[in-house]
Amino acid sequence: MNQPTEPKADKSGVRRHNLSLVLRTVHEAGETTRAAVAARVGLTRPAVSSLVEQLLDLGLLVESGKTFSGQAGRPGTVLKPADTGPAGLGVEINVDYVTACVADLTGTDRVRRTERLDNRASGAGEVLARAARIAAGALDEAAGLGLAPAGAGLALPGLVSGGTVRQAPNLGWNDVPAERLFAEALTALRPATAGLPVASDNEANSAALAELWFGSLGEVRTFLHLTGEIGVGGAIVVHGELLRGAHGFSGEIGHVVVDAEGPRCRCGARGCLEQYAGQAALLASAGAAGVPDLARRAGAREPRALAALAEAGRMLGRALSGAVNLLDPEAVVLGGIYPHLMPWLTPALTEELADRVVSGLWTPDAGRLRPASAATDAARGAAALVLRDVLADPLTHAVAAAGGRRD
Amino acid sequence: MNQPTEPKADKSGVRRHNLSLVLRTVHEAGETTRAAVAARVGLTRPAVSSLVEQLLDLGLLVESGKTFSGQAGRPGTVLKPADTGPAGLGVEINVDYVTACVADLTGTDRVRRTERLDNRASGAGEVLARAARIAAGALDEAAGLGLAPAGAGLALPGLVSGGTVRQAPNLGWNDVPAERLFAEALTALRPATAGLPVASDNEANSAALAELWFGSLGEVRTFLHLTGEIGVGGAIVVHGELLRGAHGFSGEIGHVVVDAEGPRCRCGARGCLEQYAGQAALLASAGAAGVPDLARRAGAREPRALAALAEAGRMLGRALSGAVNLLDPEAVVLGGIYPHLMPWLTPALTEELADRVVSGLWTPDAGRLRPASAATDAARGAAALVLRDVLADPLTHAVAAAGGRRD
């Protein structure tokens, strides 16, 4: 048997890289053995065993007693990603709710809390403090399951860059240092989270990543993802990567013009898609009290509700036909409130796409328009961003999570 | 001095790779020395010298007598890319003209022929045969300069994939095997071009690549490129790479809807941008006989011409504001007929962008809207695609060019 060529220093770049490689390989497989990992990554068995021991010590992998001979190499103990230990905290702050979730290393959503409330009625600092309170509650519950945060991801409804919400018209936020305010509020509630890495992104981007990683897209890797909320968020995924644009401000399909003479939008322009297909505009137009009420009215074939949904579908089709002509995606995914309303949105929407997309690939029966999976949302996507960091550099992030566990 | 670790076989993958590395290094530098190349690529001086000798033999590099001490290492003979030998043939077929150009390895356009004529009046086979005749004339002239084609690139005004024009509404083409028909027609005229590699792409993509490689974009690597012709073509460049979409059909900004109740387009839909800002629509609306006539009328402040240009500018701004909200580029480049018309298009266009782009980065004085460089067009971009192949694999392509020189 070959001797492993171990790097000299335990914290060397090579070993860090290989720890990540082994952890990601187990993560992708779900269940595997040391021998199968060695065959897959091209390292020797002893090298893989040494890396696996460290990942077991760090609480990132677990062994199960059973043996497993379905893959290359001799049977061995089964390895799995740990469902305790380092976890991702994901927090979505939207106009009319806050969701916090804690996902374990397998990506499974283990704890989830949502509070519905109008975040427009409070200042940004107060909203972020409220989000921190909800997150702290979720972390308490997660601690009972043996999960400790390796980081936090924030999903926010606006233009986000450098940890700051540059602009969120539907919340009335401008230049809000969201990461810092959230971290301060969380640390005040739970001192052990001091120094916890916090990242932030647009909520539409986070929802698209959740769909990509946990949804039912199959082979689709290039798609447009719309999230219908008070605002209409959009995200573009090309070959499995978010297309963020030159300044991180891509995907703002809610402000694509669909009728230049239309109503004034919160962004200052006229006739933005949001003024027809955003939740507030749609409910007002339909005379409905909420999304369930709207679906009930449409189901009862109430003319005003049907007309509002047909109009929203037509405007979605107009904006999406332009986006599809520009980007040529394989699919368009509708998330947020839209999956509940698709029976009534889809006819006008698909008609516009069939008429206006020049490639001819968007016929109504082509199946390119699809609802987001029920299991995906922006909070889960934000949590998954933390998990991606853990997979990319297990040593750093497992230690951060252990620090957070000390209280 | 270290001994070079030469690969054993002359045609090995390693040597091929290193030939490309050295050629690209000289190409990027413009003028350099063996020592500077060695310092740059991390190979030994003798290894670089051996590779340079082969590139000189293949006619891809030339030496000049002067010495050069401005860079790392001791002074040496100056190396430059050859301005004879393997060249790229680029052919743009558009609705009302055909352009053929031959670019040498430095990317310089050495021969250029344009014929203005209405390609809608003939069948696809006839148009491609005509393009081959113009290309053959350009190749004859290029042969007199010591240039031989290493390949041909076709730039075509429609949806192009797999060597075929799937759809070109402005030419009335559907499923035209353009690469094959062009190659057959060229070989019939010049038998020595038999087997010459032919590639094809959308003309807007080719024009965007020409702008990226030879234009004056400076540090800008993420941009949207519009080409105003009979149709309005668009191309998206992200971090220096074309965003082609899932099926190669991205960039169709000419068919983004700007007024849902507008005039019927050749694509079948209503109110496409092309019906306001395409050359035919714009000239008809202005009552002008051609682009120079339109510019003259606008310069004389003729109301009808000014109104048509303002309307085209407003509609361009509407479509572009949506594209910018989706993609967040650093700049938008206007090519084709637009650079000649910018004084009259720009005011309404920049006003729409300032009003509608939510990032707030598109103020009129931000300089993000710019004309395409005079030196770039789709034919040159198509030729440059051939040159990129030569730089990526010098051995194969130099031999192909030598084969083409045998007649």
Tens digit of each residue's pLDDT (9 = 90 or more) over A245-304: 999 999 999 999 999 999 999 889 999 999 999 999 999 999 999 999 999 999 999 999
Q: What pLDDT score does A11 carry?
A: 52
Tell me whether residue A268 is in a domain: yes
Rounded CA-CA distance A134/A21 in Å is: 34
Inter-residue contact A46 to A4 (CB < 8 Å)? yes
Contact between chains at B267 and A361 (C-beta distance less than 8 A): no
Q: What pLDDT score does A152 carry?
A: 97
Q: What pLDDT score does A3 carry?
A: 36
Amino acid at A226: L
Contact between chains at A358 and B167 (C-beta distance less than 8 A): yes
Q: Does A5 touch chain B (CB under 8 A)?
A: no
Which chain B residue is nearest to residue A256, measuring alpha carbons? B322
In tens, the pLDDT along B25-36 reads: 999 898 999 999
What does the pLDDT average to over B205-212?
A: 94
- Give B193→chain A minimum CA distance, Å: 33
What does the pLDDT average to over A397-407?
A: 58
- Give A253→chain B minimum CA distance, Å: 6
Does B240 have pLDDT greater than 90?
yes
Q: What pLDDT score does A75 carry?
A: 57
- Give A104→chain B minimum CA distance, Å: 33
* Residues from chain A contacting residue B319 (CB–CB below 8 Å): 322
Say yes or no: A200 and A89 in one domain.
yes
Tell me whether residue A210 is in a domain: no
Tell me whether residue A273 is in a domain: yes
Say yes or no: B105 and B65 in one domain.
no
Which chain B residue is nearest to residue A326, measuring alpha carbons? B251
- Give B220→chain A minimum CA distance, Å: 9
A vs B: CB pairs below 8 A: 137
Tokens of B46: 């003798």
Average pLDDT for chain B: 91
Q: What pLDDT score does A8 carry?
A: 43
- Give A249→chain B minimum CA distance, Å: 6
Tell me whether residue A357 is in a domain: yes
Tell me whether residue B2 is in a domain: no
* Residues from chain B contacting residue A164 (CB–CB below 8 Å): none
In tens, the pLDDT along A32-83 reads: 999 999 999 989 999 999 999 999 999 899 998 766 555 554 557 899 999 9
In tens, the pLDDT along B99-147 reads: 999 999 988 999 999 999 899 989 999 999 999 999 999 999 999 999 9
Q: What pLDDT score does B253 carry?
A: 96
End position of a domain, from candidates B28, B46, B81:
B81
End position of a domain, from candidates A81, A104, A128:
A81
Q: What pLDDT score does B310 carry?
A: 98
Nearest to A250 among B257, B321, B326 (CB): B326
Rounded CA-CA distance B276/B282 in Å is: 6
Chain A from 314 to 373: CB within 8 A of any B CB: 318-319, 321-323, 325-330, 355-361
Helices (H), A108-165: 124-144
Tell me whether residue A6 is in a domain: no
What does the pLDDT average to over B199-207?
A: 94
- CATH number for the domain that contains residue B388: 3.30.420.40
Q: Which of A220, A325, A330, A368 to mutate to test the interface with B (most CBs of B within 10 A)?
A: A325
Say yes or no: A245 and A341 in one domain.
yes
In tens, the pLDDT along B187-197 reads: 999 999 999 99
Quickly state the pLDDT bin for B6 (edges 50, 70, 90): very low
Say yes or no: B131 and B64 in one domain.
no
Say yes or no: A357 and A297 in one domain.
yes
Note the Cα B266 to chain centre separation in Å: 25
Say yes or no: B361 and B388 in one domain.
no
More confident residue, B39 or A397: B39
What does the pLDDT average to over A198-215?
A: 93
Question: Domain of B140?
Answer: 86-205+378-404
Chain B from 272 to 291: CB within 8 A of any A CB: 272
Q: What pLDDT score does B400 carry?
A: 67
Say yes or no: A160 and A224 in one domain.
no
Q: Name which of A8-12, A313-317, A366-370, B348-352 the model is least confident about.
A: A8-12
* Residues from chain B contacting residue A257 (CB–CB below 8 Å): 318, 321-322, 356
- Sign of the C-alpha dihedral computed for residues A104, A105, A106 and A107 taken in this order: positive
Inter-residue contact B160 to B166 (CB < 8 Å)? yes
Q: What pLDDT score does B203 carry?
A: 93
Inter-residue contact A174 to A218 (CB < 8 Å)? no
Q: Does B265 touch chain A (CB under 8 A)?
A: no
- Give B59→chain A minimum CA distance, Å: 39
* Residues from chain A contacting residue B240 (CB–CB below 8 Å): none
Say yes or no: B234 and B357 in one domain.
yes
What does the pLDDT average to over A74-94?
A: 89
* Residues from chain A contacting residue B249 (CB–CB below 8 Å): 328, 358-359, 361
Q: Name which of A195-209, B75-89, B278-292 the model is least confident about.
A: B75-89
Contact between chains at A249 and B222 (C-beta distance less than 8 A): no
What does the pLDDT average to over B237-260?
A: 94
Q: Please report the ipTM that was assigned to this predicted complex.
A: 0.86
Say yes or no: B23 and B129 in one domain.
no
Say yes or no: B339 and B388 in one domain.
no
Tokens of A3: 């001797």
β pairing state of B159-161 and B164-168: antiparallel
H-helix or E-strand containing A145? none
Tell me whether residue B128 is in a domain: yes
Does A4 have pLDDT greater than 50?
no
Nearest to B257 among A159, A322, A330 (CB): A322
Nearest to A328 among B167, B169, B246 (CB): B246
Q: Does B245 touch chain A (CB under 8 A)?
A: yes
In tens, the pLDDT along A150-182 reads: 999 999 999 999 999 998 988 999 999 999 999
- Give A250→chain B minimum CA distance, Å: 5
- Give A252→chain B minimum CA distance, Å: 5
Nearest to B326 among A256, A269, A360 (CB): A256
Say yes or no: A77 and A90 in one domain.
no
Does A395 have pLDDT greater than 70?
yes
Give Dmax (Cα) for chain B.
76
Q: What pLDDT score does A66 carry?
A: 64
Rounded CA-CA distance B130/A27 in Å is: 58
Does B308 have pLDDT greater than 80?
yes
Inter-residue contact B115 to B90 (CB < 8 Å)? no
Q: What pLDDT score does A13 carry?
A: 82
Q: Name which of A7-16, A330-339, B146-155 the model is least confident about.
A: A7-16
Which chain A residue is nearest to residue B360, measuring alpha carbons? A167
Q: What pLDDT score does B4 carry?
A: 36
Q: Does B175 touch chain A (CB under 8 A)?
A: no
Find all residues with CB under 8 Å of A198, minimum gap 6, and list them.
A151, A152, A153, A154, A163, A179, A182, A183
Residue whose entry in the numeric block shows the structure tokens 């990317």: B107
Say yes or no: B367 and B225 in one domain.
yes
- CATH number for the domain that contains residue A67: 1.10.10.10
Nearest to A58 by CA among A388, A383, A386, A390: A390
What does the pLDDT average to over B226-242?
A: 94
* Residues from chain A contacting residue B361 (CB–CB below 8 Å): 247, 249
Tokens of B260: 């849902």
Inter-residue contact A227 to A179 (CB < 8 Å)? no
* Residues from chain A contacting residue B329 (CB–CB below 8 Å): 245-246
Considering its fold, how many domains does chain B have in total? 3
Contact between chains at A328 and B259 (C-beta distance less than 8 A): no
Tell me whether residue B3 is in a domain: no
What does the pLDDT average to over B257-281?
A: 95
Q: What pLDDT score does A376 carry?
A: 86
B107-111, B279-283, B393-397, range with greatest mean pLDDT:
B279-283
Rounded CA-CA distance B255/B275 in Å is: 9
Chain B from 215 to 234: CB within 8 A of any A CB: 222, 234
In tens, the pLDDT along B359-392 reads: 999 998 889 999 999 888 999 999 998 999 999 9
Does B399 have pLDDT greater than 80?
no
Q: What pLDDT score does B9 carry?
A: 44
Q: Does A166 touch chain B (CB under 8 A)?
A: yes
- Sign of the C-alpha dihedral computed for residues A290, A293, A298 and A304 taken in this order: negative
Give Dmax (Cα) for chain A.
76
* Residues from chain B contacting residue A169 (CB–CB below 8 Å): 358
Rounded CA-CA distance B386/B375 in Å is: 18
End position of a domain, from candidates A81, A96, A130:
A81
Chain B from 51 to 110: CB within 8 A of any A CB: none
